[in-house]
Structure 1
């Protein structure tokens, strides 16, 4: 099953199959927000899955080898891809940002977001500070993407 197909599905669909069912996972419930969120953190596998209070997948975060090491065989591209390679493959992004220094979280790499209507989702690429590879790849349901519906 493609990673995009898990969006909107119960997390149980993902947790029942390989390789996910073999990966150690920590479930974290966040009740401090307006809406209850449930995080599934596969720390040793470079994967985090954010769910609604009813355990339906809203976002999937996959980290490169430098940041946890998500299994690239589950993707159609390499997390070692440069920004130029991503743009050459996917075209013009819906939104982008350049490398910056945030006073709270520190340095952040450049990023590109691609919004799609069929299926209704966004793919977000955050690049390494040196531009050589993707540090984090995120898939989000369209209804949870910041600024997507505004």
Structure 2
């Protein structure tokens, strides 16, 4: 189960994730955000629809999986799943949001967040079709 495996990397040094399969064979672009209240380090594999946000000590804070691009087989929560399926599988969300349009960033689909002791799982749905657009795994203390 890929999501359970990825959850284990939250709070760990990013090098552990980057050296494991299949990530060790992927190309990542590393960038540093110095202009935020807290410095963050980002690793993005655009080709694979996968990105990681780390704290200033390069410990994994968040992991993002994008639908349509990822090379990962997310069998535990397939991107083809609609919102009803997700809610049946995971139960009642801790937080939820309606679709909305940002004047700069455009349309966003509805979303649900499921908070656990070691991970917050955020699911963003597509705007105009059924299915999951993005899955985000976060350390609980960084969840908005």
Task: Report if TM-score (shorter chain) is over 0.5.
Answer: yes
Q: Is the 8 A contact 1:109 1:131 kept in 2?
A: no
Q: Is the 8 A contact 1:2 1:74 kept in 2?
A: no
Alignment of 1:45-124 (within 5 A): 45-65=48-68, 69-74=69-74, 76-117=76-117, 120-124=118-122
Cα distance, 1:101 vs. partner? 1.1
After superposition, the C-alpha distances for 1:12-36 in whole angstroms (9 at most, x for unaligned) are: 0011121101011100011001111
After superposition, the C-alpha distances for 1:24-83 in whole angstroms (9 at most, x for unaligned) are: 110001100111100000110000100001110000010000xxx113425522111101
Aligned CA-pair RMSD? 1.2
The residue that corresponds to 2:42 in the other structure is: 39
Q: Distance in 2 between matches of 1:90 and 1:131?
A: 21
2:11 maps to 1:13: no
Q: Distance in 2 between matches of 1:86 and 1:62?
A: 16
Q: Distance in 2 between matches of 1:24 and 1:145?
A: 27
Q: TM-score, normalised by structure 1?
A: 0.90
Extract structure 1 runs of 4+ deviating beyond 2 A.
none
Aligned length, in residue pairs? 141
Q: TM-score, normalised by structure 2?
A: 0.93
